[in-house]
Amino acid sequence: MIRKPAVAGQFYFDTPNMLEAQVESCIEKGLRREKVIGMLSPHAGFVYSGAVAGALYSRIEFPQTFVIIGPNHTGLGKPISIMASGEWDMPNGTVMIDENLSEKILKSSDRIEDDTYAHLREHSLEVQIPFMQFFSKDFSIVPISMMTTSLEDCLEVGRALAEVIKVTTYPVVIVASSDMTHYEPDESARKKDRKALDRVLALDPEGLHRTVLSEKITMCGFSPTVTMLKASILLGAKSAVLVKYMTSGDTSGDYSHVVGYAGVLIK
């Protein structure tokens, strides 16, 4: 199956040259690249969160495959949906799904189901790809969409990912796609996001899950982030670094009603 872009022309430019220039305006040049196990990257329109995503992708050694985990905003598909085969058609070229890796992940946990519907209109995974394509034309993806917020589900999927990636003979990076607090005053958003990010930086998936729920933090991709953290720990992660944090107010100038964006590298 060929998946067509869902938000090209809305979240990012839909013509190759304009998109290339848009992404280039977000990246940071001349940086030393690092080997990472996982990442937390935002998924808003590039005008708002592109600088955070660009800062992340400017710093990493590129793998052969990105496993991208994002929240399900549409309500379509299964609770935990992997698109196990096919390709994603993007303005700057086609990206193939790593069918070998996706099939192994699918078999590693009965909670993960092969389902394309969850991916057809979902933006949280799609918006990562233009940044990947800016730096490399030789990579594949494994897209996973999560509707569930169960801690048990997150930890189980994290375990399954780690089990498969651990024996994979080529480099794989896990990307958790999430924005932070939604539609609160800037000061409030930053305080809440700091509490969540403290758990991310401590490599504490259970603590992140508990904090988001107890503090009522509207971090839309906290389940993918918990999952990524669990997998990263099992794959040997020792540290996490906050690369960049900002809110939509830093772009719009309106700090009364913001969304937060954080970029974290897990090493």
Three-class SS of residue 260? strand
Residue 221 confidence (pLDDT): 98
Q: Which helix or strand (DSSP H or E) is residue 129 part of?
A: helix 129-135
> Residue 227 and residue 113: Cα distance in Å, rounded?
16
Residue 242 per-residue DSSP state = E
The fraction of the chain above a pLDDT of 90, given in percent, is 100
Q: Phi first, then psi: what are they for 246, rounded to 5°? A: -155, 170
Residue 266 per-residue DSSP state = E
Q: What is the pLDDT of residues 94-147, one digit of tens each?
A: 999 999 999 999 999 999 999 999 999 999 999 999 999 999 999 999 999 999
Residue with tokens 């329109």: 45
Q: What is the pLDDT of residues 37-67, one digit of tens each?
A: 999 999 999 999 999 999 999 999 999 999 9
Residue among 241, 231, 28 at smallest CA distance from 135: 28
Q: What is the pLDDT of residues 167-182, one digit of tens each?
A: 999 999 999 999 999 9
Query: In whole numbers, what is the pLDDT of the chain averaged over residues?
Result: 98
Three-class SS of residue 262? strand
Confidence of residue 209 (pLDDT cuts 50, 70, 90): very high
Count CB neighbours of 249 within 10 A: 19
Residue 165 confidence (pLDDT): 98
> Residue 142 and residue 132: Cα distance in Å, rounded?
13
Residue 163 confidence (pLDDT): 98
Give Cβ neighbours of residue 117 (< 8 Å, ≥ 6 apart). 76, 77, 81
> Residue 263 and residue 56: Cα distance in Å, rounded?
6
Q: Side chain identity at 77, as an amino acid letter? A: G
> Residue 185 and residue 256: Cα distance in Å, rounded?
4
Tokens at residue 240, please? 């996490």
